[in-house]
């Protein structure tokens, strides 16, 4: 690649000799040439600027001086030679220079940086070369003002130069770095000593378990990007995120849908939420049932266990927690039809009016029954779990609207349920799910629960087999 720089401070660019770019220049991987703009001034003061036409503060760089300099750099013969010639004009009013632009410019044959000082270069210069077939790019390196384009030019040359073949020893390092193709900021890095001033590195990094190390780094990259650059998280495509990514994001309050990553809110439900919760409970329950259950059995369960009165009693019970997952209203309207519902529906049984009234939609819920609950809601802990040393809470329900399954919301609800169970004084949490509902068992397992035998459970008049699962709660903090 040929690189030209035109500036009234040519000495400034000696810094480029010190870096990888200087080595690439010496090795012939690129051909760097610096021109002193003043060499093209005609008067004895070597004037390069003049006052702005129309008045105003500062000085403007003269088009005639720039034209003479640039005509030598772009001789008539080079234009239309089939090569890509780019005139880069660094200016705080330009398009923001990004890694994507650096990658694009690394593919050009010839880059010319025109470093302006003062208020800038007479605009006709850019227009003139654009008309002659030069690709002109006005670029800014960020939202702040420098005194001239020199520093910005060094920044851009460093970013572009390291992408040229052969400039960086190991091209793999270009993939994982911040703003690389993963779309995430880079995870924090560590080296020896393992313990430095009392700070220990995560033992996973010393385990030699490559999959676990990759997962740890991915989690750290996601968390860091979420904290610093939520805009980058929102720009991720769903196909860039696996199920572990989704659970992590959901626990941190973000949900992956068809349209990308959206904020999620998880909170306890109140009596004002009963209608919405009832609607969600009755539309999600049938999916969790084994295929042999009759319509009547399911209806009987909906009319009793999942009635509005029953839901009221959960919410009013101080030994029970009812947790909801909410999405902002605009995020659950993915394009296309889901399941052929009437067009006035939102795709999961609710009308547009029902959603808009609340400005957010309830897309999942969990019910946790604490160790001190009694009455019909307090199901007996399956006997294989009865261990005197544990104080059990029951994760009685976790239900997610169909189109948000696989988004990580279940994992987030289970994590919050576990916290609430600890707060209610439990040291362990158990749950049971139909043996037919493999998806549920998988998501409990992913959330850290393990299988502990089975039990039977009655829906309507039919007895079903359940898988029982449990987890030990890490930090029990009694009320």
Sites of contact with ligand 6GU (CB under 6 A): 90-92, 139-142, 144-146, 148-149, 152
Say whether 142 sits in a helix, a strand or coil.
coil
| CA 27 to chain CA mean position, Å | 40
Identify which of residues 91 and 407 has a Cβ nearer to ligand 6GU in the complex. 91
Strands (DSSP E) contained in 290-410 are: 320-328, 360-369, 392-400
Whole-number Å distance between alpha carbons of 117 and 294: 80
Q: What's the min distance (Å) between Cβ of 143 and ligand 6GU?
A: 7
Q: Which three-class secondary structure string do you get for 23-43?
A: HHHHCCCCEEEEEEHHHHCCC
Q: What's the min distance (Å) between Cβ of 195 and ligand 6GU?
A: 42
Whole-number Å distance between alpha carbons of 227 and 281: 33
Q: What's the min distance (Å) between Cβ of 339 and ligand 6GU?
A: 50
Cα–Cα distances in Å, from 297 out to 277, 367, 460?
21, 22, 4
Those residues with Cβ within 8 angstroms of residue 45's Cβ, 6 or more apart along the chain or in another chain? none
Q: What's the min distance (Å) between Cβ of 113 and ligand 6GU?
A: 10
Identify which of residues 140 and 346 has a Cβ nearer to ligand 6GU in the complex. 140
Give first-to-last CA distance, the chain, whole Å. Answer: 68
95 close to 155: Cβ distance less than 8 angstroms: no
91 close to 140: Cβ distance less than 8 angstroms: yes
Identify which of residues 57 and 342 has a Cβ nearer to ligand 6GU in the complex. 57
Cα–Cα distances in Å, from 383 out to 390, 422, 448, 455?
13, 21, 21, 9
DSSP-derived letter for residue 187 is P
Q: What's the min distance (Å) between Cβ of 90 and ligand 6GU?
A: 3
Q: What's the min distance (Å) between Cβ of 33 and ligand 6GU?
A: 20
Which of 115, 116, 160 minimizes the C-alpha distance to 19?
160
Identify which of residues 141 and 221 has a Cβ nearer to ligand 6GU in the complex. 141
Whole-number Å distance between alpha carbons of 301 and 303: 5
Identify which of residues 90 and 161 has a Cβ nearer to ligand 6GU in the complex. 90
Q: What's the min distance (Å) between Cβ of 49 and ligand 6GU?
A: 14
Q: What's the min distance (Å) between Cβ of 268 and ligand 6GU?
A: 47
Q: What's the min distance (Å) between Cβ of 95 and ligand 6GU?
A: 10
Phi/psi for 3 (5° steps) reads -125, 125
Identify which of residues 94 and 334 has a Cβ nearer to ligand 6GU in the complex. 94
Whole-number Å distance between alpha carbons of 49 and 34: 20
Identify which of residues 139 and 459 has a Cβ nearer to ligand 6GU in the complex. 139
Strands 392-400 and 428-434: parallel
Cα–Cα distances in Å, from 363 out to 101, 242, 262, 310, 391?
39, 21, 13, 20, 30
Whole-number Å distance between alpha carbons of 198 and 307: 56
Q: What's the min distance (Å) between Cβ of 179 and ligand 6GU?
A: 17
Identify which of residues 160 and 249 has a Cβ nearer to ligand 6GU in the complex. 160
Whole-number Å distance between alpha carbons of 304 and 309: 9
Question: What is the H or E stretch that residue 199 is in?
Answer: strand 199-200
Encoding tokens for residue 6?
């035109």
Q: What's the min distance (Å) between Cβ of 14 and ligand 6GU?
A: 20
Identify which of residues 113 and 187 has a Cβ nearer to ligand 6GU in the complex. 113
Identify which of residues 141 and 436 has a Cβ nearer to ligand 6GU in the complex. 141
Which of 420, 421, 410, 362 minimizes the C-alpha distance to 249?
410
Say whether 93 sits in a helix, a strand or coil.
strand
Identify which of residues 31 and 96 has a Cβ nearer to ligand 6GU in the complex. 96
Identify which of residues 89 and 464 has a Cβ nearer to ligand 6GU in the complex. 89
Whole-number Å distance between alpha carbons of 329 and 351: 12
Those residues with Cβ within 8 angstroms of residue 82's Cβ, 6 or more apart along the chain or in another chain? none
Identify which of residues 94 and 328 has a Cβ nearer to ligand 6GU in the complex. 94
Q: What's the min distance (Å) between Cβ of 148 and ligand 6GU?
A: 5
Q: What's the min distance (Å) between Cβ of 89 and ligand 6GU?
A: 8
């Amino acid at each position: 690649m040929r690189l030209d720089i035109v500036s009234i401070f040519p000495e400034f660019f000696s810094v480029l000799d010190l870096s990888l770019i200087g080595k690439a220049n010496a090795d012939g991987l690129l051909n760097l040439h610096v021109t002193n703009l003043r060499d093209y001034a005609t008067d004895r003061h070597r004037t390069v600027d003049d006052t702005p036409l129309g008045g105003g503060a500062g000085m403007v760089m003269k088009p005639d001086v720039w034209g003479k300099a640039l005509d030598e750099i772009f001789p008539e013969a080079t234009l239309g030679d089939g090569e890509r010639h780019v005139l880069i004009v660094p200016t705080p009013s330009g398009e923001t220079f990004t890694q994507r632009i650096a990658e694009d410019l690394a593919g050009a044959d010839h880059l010319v940086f025109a470093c302006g000082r003062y208020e800038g270069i007479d605009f006709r210069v850019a227009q003139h070369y654009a008309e002659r077939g030069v690709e002109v790019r006005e670029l800014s390196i960020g939202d702040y003002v420098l005194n001239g384009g020199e520093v910005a030019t060094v920044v851009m040359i460093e970013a572009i130069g390291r992408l040229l073949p052969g400039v960086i020893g190991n091209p793999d390092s270009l993939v994982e770095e911040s703003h690389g193709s993963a779309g995430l900021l880079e995870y924090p890095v560590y080296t020896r000593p393992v313990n430095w001033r009392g700070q220990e590195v995560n033992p996973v990094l010393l385990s030699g378990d490559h999959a676990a190390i990759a997962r740890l780094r991915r989690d750290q990259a996601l968390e860091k990007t979420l904290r610093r650059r939520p805009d980058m998280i929102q720009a991720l495509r769903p196909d860039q995120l696996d199920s572990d990514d989704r659970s992590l994001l959901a626990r941190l309050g973000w949900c992956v849908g068809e349209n990308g990553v959206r904020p999620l809110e998880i909170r306890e439900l109140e009596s004002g939420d009963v209608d919405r919760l009832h609607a969600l409970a009755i539309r999600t329950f049938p999916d969790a049932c084994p295929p042999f259950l009759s319509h009547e059995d399911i209806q009987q369960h909906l009319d009793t266990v999942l009635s509005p009165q029953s839901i009221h009693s959960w919410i009013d019970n101080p030994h029970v927690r009812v947790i909801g997952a909410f999405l902002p209203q605009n995020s659950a309207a993915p394009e296309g039809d889901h399941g052929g519902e009437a067009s006035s529906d939102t795709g999961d049984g609710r009308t547009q009016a029902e959603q808009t009234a609340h400005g957010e939609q309830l897309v999942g819920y969990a019910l946790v029954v604490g160790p001190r609950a009694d009455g019909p809601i307090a199901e007996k802990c399956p006997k294989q779990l009865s261990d005197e040393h544990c104080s059990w809470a029951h994760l009685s329900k976790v239900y997610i609207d169909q189109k948000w399954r696989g988004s990580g919301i279940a994992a987030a609800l289970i994590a919050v349920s576990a916290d609430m169970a600890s707060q209610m004084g439990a040291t362990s949490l158990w749950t049971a799910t139909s043996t037919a509902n493999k998806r549920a068992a998988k998501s409990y397992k992913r959330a850290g629960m393990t299988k502990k035998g089975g039990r039977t459970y009655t829906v309507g008049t039919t007895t079903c087999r359940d898988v029982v699962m449990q987890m030990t709660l890490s930090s029990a903090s009694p009320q």
